[in-house]
Amino acid sequence: MNKKTTQKIAFITFRALGLLVVAILLGILGFIIYNGIGVISWEFLTAAPTEGMTAGGIFPAIVGTLCLVVGSMVFAFPLGVMSAVYMNEYAGNGWVVKFIRVMTNNLSGIPSIVFGLFGMALFVNTLKFGDSILAGSLTLGLLILPLIIRTTEEALKAIPDSYRTGSLALGSSKLQTIRRVVLPMAFPNIITGLILSIGRVSGETAPILFTVAAYFLPKLPTGIFDQVMALPYHLYVIVTSGTDIESSRPIAYGTALVLIAIVLIMNLLATSLRKYFGKKVKTG
Amino acid sequence: MKQLRRIFERIVEVMLALSGSITTLAIFLIIIFLFKEGLGLFNNSAVEKGYVLCVHPTNPVEQLNPQQIKHLFDSEITNWKEVGGRDEEIMIFRFDEIFSIYSDEELGEDYALLPQKLGEVIAQNSNIIAFLPEKYLPEDRSSMKVLLSGTIDVAAFFGGQEWQPTATPAPQYGVLPLVLGTLWVSLFAILIALPLGLGVAIYLSELAEDRTRKILKPTIELLAGIPSVVYGFFGLVVVVPLIQKTLHLPVGETAFAGSLILAVMALPTIITVAEDSMRNTPRAMREASLALGATSWQTIYKVILPYSSSGIIAAVVLGIGRAIGETMAVLMVTGNAAVMPHSLFESVRTIPATIAAELGETPAGGTHYQALFLLGIILFSMTLIISLSAEFISKRQQRKGVL
C-alpha cells in the first residue's frame, strides 16, 4: 500500500474516533436531558418525595447537597488556598515541596469509597459526630483538597515574578505582597478552582454513603449534626432499591438531569470566568 | 509596631506551613485509620462471635478451619473421616433444633435447664457437631468437647476463593474473587478505552484545527465531570438491557457492562494526558522527520508516538487507577455476584462495590466490618502503587524533555 493511502486511512480513522467520543458524550447527555426535561417543574424542585419516593419532588435532596457543598467548601477552600500559597510562595523548591506534591497527587488518586471508609472510621465513629452534615462535609472536603490546591497553585504560578519583586522593592513585606498583589491577581483563577470543586462535590456518592446520606428524610436539617438526603445518593436509591422502581423512573431521570445541570453550569461558569479574566489580564 | 508585625507575619507563616502539610497528614490519617479498623480481623475467632462448635468428647477431631466448617455445614463434607476423624457420618445440630426436641416446660423457667439438655444431646450422639451460643454451654464440660476454631487466617483471607461474610457458623472472607473481579473489569475497560483514547489524542494533537480543538477539549473534560452515579444510571437503563438483548444473555448486568461504562469514564483521563505528552514533542523532531520525506502519519507513529510513549503509559496507568477505584457506576451495572470471574459475560463484583454495598449493614467493630476495612487497605495500596508509578513514569518523560 502506498504511504499516502495509509496516511489517509489512518487519519480518517482518527477523525472518526474523535467524532465517536463526542457522540458518546452527547448521547449520554441527550438521553438524560430528553427523558428528564419533562419531569422538571417548579413543584419537582420544591416538594418533598411522597408515596415511597415514586411521586413528589426532590427538594430535601437539593437542600442536603447544598449543605454538603457549603460545608465542604468552608473547610477545604481556605485550607487548600493556604496550602497552595505555602507551597508556591514560601517553601521554595526543596524536597519538602516535592514530598508534599507527591502526597497531594496521591491523595487525589485515592478512590472515593476509601474516603468514605475513612470518614466513617474517624468522623462518625471515633470523633462521634454520627451520620451528620459535619462528618460528610469533612470527608468531602478532604476529597476535594487536591483539586483546590492544584488549581490555586496554577493560578499563583501564572503571576509573573516581576510583580512580586516590584512589590518587595517598594518596601512591602512578603505577607503584604501576597495579600495585596499576588492573591488579588490570582483571585479569578482561584475562584475557577472553587467552582469546579463545587461541581465535583455535588456529584460524589461513595464518600457520603456512610457519613451523612439518609435514605429518606423529608424534613430539612436544622443543624450540622443532622443527617440529610443528597442528590447523587437519592438517584442511586431510587434507581436500585426504591419500593417501586418502574414508577419512580421519571423521578430518577429528573434527578439525574438536575445533577448534570449543576455540573454543566459549574463547568461553563468556570470556563467563561477563565476566558473573561484571561482577556482582561492580557489587555490590561 | 514593626516588631508586632514581624511576629504576626511569623504566625501567619507557621499557619501556612501547617496547612501545607494537610494533604500529607490526611494520607497518614487514612492509612492509620484503615489499619486500626481492619487489622483486628486476624485476632478474631473464625466462628461467629458468641458462638462455639461442640463435638462428642470421644471425637478425635480437635480443630476445624473456616473452610472445613463451611463445607461441613453446607453438607459438602458428610463424614468425619474427611476432616481427620473416625469413619462416621456427621450429624449437624443447630441450636434451634433443641426446641423441637424439648418443650418449653422441659427446658425450665428462663431456659434454666437448657445448658444441661444441650449437654445430654451431645453426649448421646458420638457423631454430632453442635453450633451453640457460648452462654448456653453447660458448666459441666465432661459431656462435650469445644472445638478450637482458630483465628481468621491471613493466608485464607488473601488466598481464599469465597467471599460469604454472612455465612454461618463460619463467615468466609476470601478476597480473591473481589480482587480479580476488580482487575478483570478494569483491564477490559482499559483495553476498550486505550485505542479509542489514543486515536482521539492523536486527532486532537496532530490533526484537528485550532478551532475544533478549542471546542473538543472542554467537551471531553466535561465528560470527566459527570457524576459516576449518573453514568451508572445510564448504564443500567441503556447499556445493560442493550447487552442482554444483543448478546442473548440471561441477565445484562455483567462484567462487560461494567467495562464499557468504565471505559467511557476513563476516556477523558487517557485523552488529556496522552494529548499533553504528544504536544510536548519538540518541533525540531517533527520537522526533521518531515524534512527527511516522511509523511505526517509516518512522523506520528515513528517519531511522536515513541517520543511520548512514557506519557501514554502514564495515561494508561492513571486510567486503570480511575477504573479500579470507581464505585457507584460499577456497583449499579455489574450485578455484584461474589464469584471468581470466568468470562466477560457473567456478573462480577469489585472491591469498591463490595464496600459500598455491605458496609451499611454491618455493625461497627464486627469481623465483617473489619474485613471491609481490610478490603479498603487492599484498594488503597493498589491505587497508591498506581499513582506512584504514574508519577515515576511521567518524571522520566520530563527528564527526557530537558535533554
Residues B110 and B184 in one domain: no
Residue A264 near chain B (CB below 8 Å) = yes
pLDDT of residue B89: 83
Asked whether the predicted pLDDT for residue B60 surpasses 50, the reply is: yes
User: How far apart, in whole angstroms, are the C-alpha atoms of residue B144 and residue B307?
Assistant: 74
Number of structural domains found in chain B: 2
Q: Is residue B165 part of a domain?
A: no
Instruction: Name the residue facing B23 among A3, A22, A107 (closest C-beta).
Output: A107
Residues B214 and B339 in one domain: yes
Q: Is residue B109 part of a domain?
A: yes
pLDDT in tens, B237-280: 999 999 999 988 888 889 999 999 999 999 998 999 899 889 88
Q: Is residue B40 part of a domain?
A: no
pLDDT of residue B394: 76
Asked whether the predicted pLDDT for residue B111 surpasses 80, the reply is: no
Residues B204 and B346 in one domain: yes
Give Cα B337 to chain centroid, integer Å. 13
The least confident of A118-127, A264-273, B320-329 is A264-273
The most confident of the ranges A211-225, B22-36, B141-155 is B22-36
Residues B246 and B185 in one domain: yes
Asked whether the predicted pLDDT for residue A283 surpasses 50, the reply is: no
Taking CB atoms and an 8 Å cutoff, what residues of chain B touch A106? 27, 384, 387-388
pLDDT in tens, A204-224: 999 999 998 888 887 888 888
Q: Which of B158, B168, B147 is CA-nearest to residue B65?
A: B147
Q: Is residue B203 part of a domain?
A: yes
pLDDT in tens, B349-396: 999 999 999 998 888 888 899 999 999 999 999 998 988 888 888 777
Task: Examine the fold and report which residue of B104, B134, B150 is the final residue of a domain before the chain moves on.
Answer: B150
Residues B326 and B382 in one domain: yes
**What percent of chain B is modeled with pLDDT above 90?**
32
CA dihedral A136, B336, B260, A140 (to 10 degrees): 10
Residue with cell 470421644: B58
Asked whether the predicted pLDDT for residue B78 surpasses 60, the reply is: yes
Q: How many Cβ atoms from other residues are within 10 Å of residue A38's Cβ?
A: 11
Taking CB atoms and an 8 Å cutoff, what residues of chain A touch B195? 17
pLDDT of residue A242: 60
Residues B202 and B143 in one domain: no
Residues B140 and B206 in one domain: no
CATH code (residue B239): 1.10.3720.10
CA dihedral B374, B375, B377, B382 (to 10 degrees): 150
**Nearest residue on chain A to B235, alpha-carbon basis:** A28
**Nearest residue on chain A to B34, alpha-carbon basis:** A118
Tell the burial category of A218 from Cβ atoms under 10 Å away from its Cβ (0-12, 13-18, 19+).
middle
Asked whether the predicted pLDDT for residue A139 surpasses 60, the reply is: yes
Taking CB atoms and an 8 Å cutoff, what residues of chain A touch B387? 105-106, 108-109
User: How far apart, in whole angstroms, are the C-alpha atoms of residue B243 and residue A248?
Assistant: 23
Beta partners for A55?
A50
The alpha carbon of residue B162 is apart from the nearest alpha carbon of chain A, in Å, by 22
pLDDT of residue B51: 82
Edge-to-edge strand list for the sheet holding B51-55: B91-94, B128-133, B51-55, B145-146
- Interface with chain B: mutation pick from A6, A104, A110, highest number of B CBs within 10 Å: A110
pLDDT of residue A284: 39
Query: B84 φ, ψ to 5°?
Result: 90, 20
Residues B197 and B143 in one domain: no
Domains of chain A: 42-283 (1.10.3720.10)
B278 within 8 A of B308, measured Cβ to Cβ:
yes
User: How far apart, in whole angstroms, are the C-alpha atoms of residue A88 and residue A81?
Assistant: 10
Where in the sequence is the domain holding B263, given as residue range(s)? Answer: 176-402
Q: Is residue B161 part of a domain?
A: no
Residues B187 and B124 in one domain: no
pLDDT of residue B397: 64
Q: Is residue B75 part of a domain?
A: yes
The answer to whether A111 contacts B359, with C-beta atoms less than 8 Å apart, is: no
pLDDT in tens, A27-40: 999 999 999 998 89
Using 50, 70 and 90 to split pLDDT, how confident is the model at B333?
very high
Q: Is residue B20 part of a domain?
A: no
Taking CB atoms and an 8 Å cutoff, what residues of chain A touch B336? none
pTM confidence score: 0.89
Mean residue pLDDT of chain A comes to: 88
Mean residue pLDDT of chain B comes to: 86
Asked whether the predicted pLDDT for residue B402 surpasses 60, the reply is: no
Asked whether the predicted pLDDT for residue A281 surpasses 60, the reply is: no
pLDDT: is B94 or B186 the higher one?
B186
Using 50, 70 and 90 to split pLDDT, how confident is the model at B398?
low
The alpha carbon of residue B359 is apart from the nearest alpha carbon of chain A, in Å, by 8
Residues B146 and B182 in one domain: no
Residues B203 and B336 in one domain: yes
The predicted complex's ipTM stands at 0.91
The most confident of the ranges B106-115, B125-134, B179-188 is B179-188
Q: Is residue B5 part of a domain?
A: no
Taking CB atoms and an 8 Å cutoff, what residues of chain A touch B202? 14
pLDDT of residue B399: 61
Task: Examine the fold and report which residue of B150, B168, B194 is the final residue of a domain before the chain moves on.
Answer: B150
Residues B100 and B140 in one domain: yes
**What percent of chain A is modeled with pLDDT above 90?**
51
CATH code (residue B93): 3.40.190.10
User: How far apart, in whole angstroms, are the C-alpha atoms of residue B368 and residue A70?
Assistant: 34
